[in-house]
């Protein structure tokens, strides 16, 4: 490999300047960042683990149907170990990405020179796409710093024959690519590093490297094995979905062009109103295209001395993800190429450095090119500031979600409540946004955070509690049962509605039909069946909850005639077990077709595991199983 460039005091000052710019772009105004379902699910997994839960062996599901590795949860556990605030975790991710800018600057300086280092560092620090993908808790947003560390280790270890770096390169690279599945396309970077250092490879170093790398994979391999035991067809189904009608698409190339120039961010943050955003915050597109031109020049210049040995690394870094995702085996998104942004910035820097060296009339031409390039990048930073103002004040459906500080306002009002009930358009934590967000938001203030939708279940806490009604909740959920005149209103952006917070000293009275009491039936989870109401079109069941459980139950109601023969039934999902709180009274109801000759109602619980139905046992006073259902005579119905 060519001789490396040593850092001088002047270079250190330039690096500090680049880091300062990167920090201003990423760490300022953290309240104008998103906190949506995926961020909440990752946060929940990290917080639950830190609270004594099981060691995570998988992450959240990926868009291709296979679970992600758990590395993203391990990384996110670091900020949540220090604070339960999602805003603190967001700042941690942003700080990681500031470190990534520093790593790119170091790589560029050491192997491409001072001009390339300054240009690459500022380009990465000010690229609007790079800033966007560094300011929230999203797995795609924090793999790149680790990937940059792996590249630095690869160059240092295999290019400069540093054995400890040869050992560390592959484990760090595998750690990085496990954070999000799209980054696996960059695993061949390691092969390029091996080729670069083929004359100085250490067998002992490679042995220890492969051992450590394998250790990073162990949790995911165990988790994937467990997943396949529960759903043996998971991978086959994913392959079947992706293998149909494979074609080529230009999307990957288009996205990379956008990421290189900083253009077309409106297509992601405001897809339903790009013209309005551009009218409010117009980017100097002609200037930004010059960055793309510098990338094109860099693609050619990197093959010329003295960078020729590093050209394969940059070409694979940029080109392989484009090649992998140009085949339509999965839908392609811009964030699949987040890890390519630093390579694109480095190519632009190489192109600028070549122009600086080739331009006549130095030092004036050198100064003009550097100043001009810096001025173009400065317009990106200024445009980003204007974009933040727009996103903070303008609703962007299907785009940038409500900024976090709006959620924090409602969180502050709920901080005094130990018990919170959240209403939204659903209560399934794996699919619905609000049920995932608020257990994270209220982790350090509320003992119990539950979620309900507008119909199908009602809960009556044992003591005082607060109700949070999300903008997505139906009007007057559960027939206005949880409605008061004294509500605190927390508006979101215009057109997005408001959060409403209401306090209750005691649970409201049930405003539905009267329930018939039954002698308490205790199930193995500790939940008890205590009452029911049955009419031709509806079945209502009353339950008493013991506290949170890991299982999610379904309940059934079988309708038996006088001879004990089943003549009808109704199955339904019970309320998710993580929302159960000790002392709660839960009512569930479902529409039914009740045969007139029904003489007995049979009620039971079951779970689904590995595709099988597993009934919950009913326990006697001594905790012994005595059956799997309760029969309730309907003589008095």
Cα–Cα distance measured from residue 601 to residue 566, given in angstroms and rounded to the nearest whole number: 10
Residue 73 — pLDDT band, cuts 50, 70, 90? very high
User: Average pLDDT for residues 103-132, to the nearest whole number?
Assistant: 97
CA atoms within 13 Å, Cβ hemisphere of 427? 26
Q: Are residues 433 and 573 in the same domain?
A: no
Residue 58 DSSP symbol: S
Task: Locate 331 and state its tokens.
Answer: 């839908």
Total tally of structural domains belonging to the chain: 3
Of 303-307, 468-472, 606-610, give the lowest mean pLDDT range: 606-610
CA atoms within 13 Å, Cβ hemisphere of 592? 26
Q: Does residue 402 sit within a domain?
A: no
Q: Is the bond preceding residue 306 a cis peptide, omega within 30 degrees?
A: yes
Q: Which of 344, 366, 393 is the last residue of a domain?
A: 393
CA 90 to chain centre: 12
- Cα 52 to Cα 46, 48, 74: the distances in Å are 10, 7, 14
Cα–Cα distance measured from residue 55 to residue 45, given in angstroms and rounded to the nearest whole number: 10
Q: Are residues 498 and 521 in the same domain?
A: no
* pLDDT tens per residue, range 219-265: 999 988 887 777 666 555 555 555 556 788 899 999 999 999 999 99
pLDDT of 153 above 90: yes
Sheet of 528-535: strand order equals 457-460, 585-591, 538-544, 528-535, 516-522
Helix H, strand E, coil C: the string for 197-233 is: CCCCCCHHHHHHHHHHHHHHHHHHHHHHHHHHHHCCC
Q: Are residues 449 and 557 in the same domain?
A: no
Q: Does residue 474 sit within a domain?
A: yes
In contact, 70 and 48? CB cutoff 8 Å:
no
Q: Are residues 297 and 344 in the same domain?
A: yes
Task: Locate 214 and state its tokens.
Answer: 């394998």
| Residue 20, C-beta contacts closer than 8 angstroms, at least 6 positions apart | none
User: Average pLDDT for residues 19-39, to the nearest whole number?
Assistant: 96
Burial 422-434 (b: 16+ CB within 10 A, else e): bbbbbbebeebbb
CA 135 to chain centre: 12
Task: Locate 594 and state its tokens.
Answer: 């009740």
Q: Does residue 528 sit within a domain?
A: yes
Q: Does residue 8 sit within a domain?
A: no
Length of the chain: 637
Is 614 strand, coil or helix? strand
Q: Are residues 84 and 208 in the same domain?
A: yes
Residue 61 — pLDDT band, cuts 50, 70, 90? confident
The terminus-to-terminus CA distance of the chain in angstroms comes to 88
Q: Does residue 9 sit within a domain?
A: no
Q: What is the number of other CB atoms lying within 10 angstroms of the CB of residue 489?
A: 10
Cα–Cα distance measured from residue 226 to residue 282, given in angstroms and rounded to the nearest whole number: 50
pLDDT of 2 above 70: no
In contact, 19 and 98? CB cutoff 8 Å:
yes
Q: What is the number of other CB atoms lying within 10 angstroms of the CB of residue 368?
A: 13
Q: Does residue 398 sit within a domain?
A: no
Q: Are residues 549 and 414 in the same domain?
A: no
Q: Does residue 399 sit within a domain?
A: no
* pLDDT tens per residue, range 437-487: 999 999 999 999 999 998 889 999 999 999 999 999 988 888 888 988 889
Q: Are residues 474 and 558 in the same domain?
A: no
Partners of residue 459 on adjacent β-strands: 586
Cα–Cα distance measured from residue 614 to residue 605, given in angstroms and rounded to the nearest whole number: 9
Cα–Cα distance measured from residue 197 to residue 268, given in angstroms and rounded to the nearest whole number: 40
In contact, 55 and 126? CB cutoff 8 Å:
no
- Concatenating the DSSP letter of every residue in 372-432 gives HHHHHHHHHHHHHHHHHHHHHHS--TTSSPPPHHHHHHHHHHHTT-SEEEEESS---TTT-
Is 78 strand, coil or helix? helix
Position with higher pLDDT, 72 vs 68 = 72
Residue 66 — pLDDT band, cuts 50, 70, 90? confident
State which residues form the domain around 88: 14-393
Closest Cα partner for 288 from 245, 365, 215, 345?
345
Q: Are residues 422 and 534 in the same domain?
A: no
Please give the torsion angle defined by the CA atoms of residues 23, 110, 112 and 9, in that order, rounded to the nearest 10 degrees.
70
List the CATH number of the domain containing 599: 2.60.40.2150
Q: Average pLDDT over the chain, rounded to whole?
A: 93
Q: Does residue 108 sit within a domain?
A: yes
**Residue 181 backbone zone (phi > 0: left; psi -120 to 50: alpha; other: beta):** alpha
Closest Cα partner for 111 from 7, 217, 32, 25?
7
In contact, 359 and 369? CB cutoff 8 Å:
yes
Q: What is the number of other CB atoms lying within 10 angstroms of the CB of residue 312?
A: 18
The rounded percent of the chain whose pLDDT value lies above 90 is: 82
Residues of the chain by 3-state class (helix, strand, coil), percent to 5: 50, 15, 35
Q: Are residues 451 and 346 in the same domain?
A: no
Cα–Cα distance measured from residue 474 to residue 9, given in angstroms and rounded to the nearest whole number: 62
pLDDT at 516: 94
In contact, 504 and 467? CB cutoff 8 Å:
yes
* pLDDT tens per residue, range 331-346: 899 999 999 999 999 9
Cα–Cα distance measured from residue 336 to residue 182, given in angstroms and rounded to the nearest whole number: 5
Residue 156 DSSP symbol: I
Residue 330 — pLDDT band, cuts 50, 70, 90? confident
- Cα 211 to Cα 197, 206, 218, 534: the distances in Å are 20, 9, 11, 63
pLDDT at 226: 81
Q: Are residues 256 and 319 in the same domain?
A: yes
Gyration radius of the chain over CA positions: 29
pTM: 0.93
pLDDT of 194 above 60: yes
Q: Are residues 362 and 442 in the same domain?
A: no
Residue 525 DSSP symbol: T
Residue 544 DSSP symbol: E
Q: Are residues 472 and 527 in the same domain?
A: no
In degrees rounded to 5, what are phi and psi of residue 530?
-125, -10
* pLDDT tens per residue, range 351-410: 999 999 988 877 888 889 999 999 999 999 999 999 999 999 999 999 999 999 999 999
The bridge status of strand 585-591 relative to strand 457-460 is antiparallel
């Amino acid at each position: 490999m060519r001789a490396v460039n040593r850092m001088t005091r002047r270079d250190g000052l330039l690096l500090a300047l680049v880091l300062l710019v990167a920090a201003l772009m990423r760490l300022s105004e953290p309240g104008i960042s998103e906190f949506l379902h995926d961020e909440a699910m990752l946060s929940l997994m990290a917080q639950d683990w830190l609270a004594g839960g099981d060691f995570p062996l998988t992450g959240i599901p990926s868009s291709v149907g296979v679970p992600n590795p758990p590395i993203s949860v391990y990384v996110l556990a670091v900020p949540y170990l220090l604070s339960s605030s999602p805003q603190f975790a967001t700042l941690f991710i942003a700080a990681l990405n500031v470190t990534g800018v520093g790593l790119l600057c170091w790589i560029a300086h050491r192997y491409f020179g001072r001009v390339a280092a300054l240009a690459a560092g500022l380009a990465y620090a000010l690229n609007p796409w790079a800033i966007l993908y560094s300011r929230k808790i999203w797995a795609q947003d924090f793999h790149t710093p680790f990937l940059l560390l792996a590249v630095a280790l690869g160059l240092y270890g295999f290019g400069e024959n540093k054995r400890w770096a040869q050992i560390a390169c592959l484990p760090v690279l595998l750690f990085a690519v496990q954070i999000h599945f799209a980054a696996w396309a960059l695993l061949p970077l390691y092969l390029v590093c091996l080729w670069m250092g083929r004359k100085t490879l250490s067998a002992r170093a490679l042995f220890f490297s492969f051992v450590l790398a394998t250790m990073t994979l162990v949790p995911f391999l165990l988790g994937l094995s467990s997943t396949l035991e529960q759903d043996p067809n998971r991978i086959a189904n994913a392959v079947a979905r992706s293998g149909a009608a494979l074609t080529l698409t230009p999307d990957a190339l288009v996205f990379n062009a956008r990421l290189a120039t900083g253009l077309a961010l409106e297509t992601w943050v405001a897809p339903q109103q790009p013209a309005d955003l551009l009218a409010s915050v117009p980017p100097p597109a002609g200037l930004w295209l010059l960055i793309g031109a510098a990338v094109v020049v860099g693609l050619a210049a990197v093959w010329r001395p003295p960078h020729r040995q590093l050209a394969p690394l940059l070409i694979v870094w940029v080109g392989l993800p484009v090649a992998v995702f140009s085949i339509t085996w999965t839908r392609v998104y811009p964030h699949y190429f987040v890890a390519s942004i630093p390579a694109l910035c480095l190519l632009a820097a190489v192109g600028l450095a070549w122009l600086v060296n080739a331009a006549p009339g130095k030092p004036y031409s050198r100064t003009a090119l550097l100043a001009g390039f810096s001025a173009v990048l400065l317009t990106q930073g200024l445009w980003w500031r204007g974009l933040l103002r727009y996103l903070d004040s303008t609703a962007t459906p299907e785009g940038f979600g409500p900024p976090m500080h709006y959620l924090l306002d409602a969180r502050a009002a709920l901080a005094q409540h130990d018990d919170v009930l959240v209403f939204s358009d659903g209560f399934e934590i794996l699919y619905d946004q609000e049920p995932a967000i608020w257990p994270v938001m209220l982790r350090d203030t509320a003992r119990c955070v539950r979620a309900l939708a507008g119909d199908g279940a009602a809960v009556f806490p044992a003591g005082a509690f607060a109700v949070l009604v999300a903008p997505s909740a139906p009007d007057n959920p559960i027939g206005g049962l949880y409605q008061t005149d004294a509500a605190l209103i927390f508006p979101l952006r215009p057109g997005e509605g408001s959060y409403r917070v209401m306090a209750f000293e005691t649970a409201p009275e049930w405003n539905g039909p009267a329930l018939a009491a039954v002698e308490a039936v205790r199930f193995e989870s500790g939940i008890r069946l205590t009452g029911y109401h049955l009419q031709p079109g509806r079945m209502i069941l009353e339950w008493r909850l013991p506290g949170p459980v890991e299982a999610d139950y379904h309940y059934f109601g079988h309708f038996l005639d006088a001879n004990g023969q089943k003549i009808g039934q109704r199955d339904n999902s019970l309320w998710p077990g993580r929302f159960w709180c000790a002392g709660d009274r839960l009512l569930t109801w479902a529409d039914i077709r009740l045969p007139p000759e029904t003489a007995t109602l049979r009620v039971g619980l079951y779970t689904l595991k590995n595709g099988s139905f597993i009934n919950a046992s009913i326990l006697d006073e001594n905790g012994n199983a005595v059956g799997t259902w309760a029969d309730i005579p309907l003589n008095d119905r």
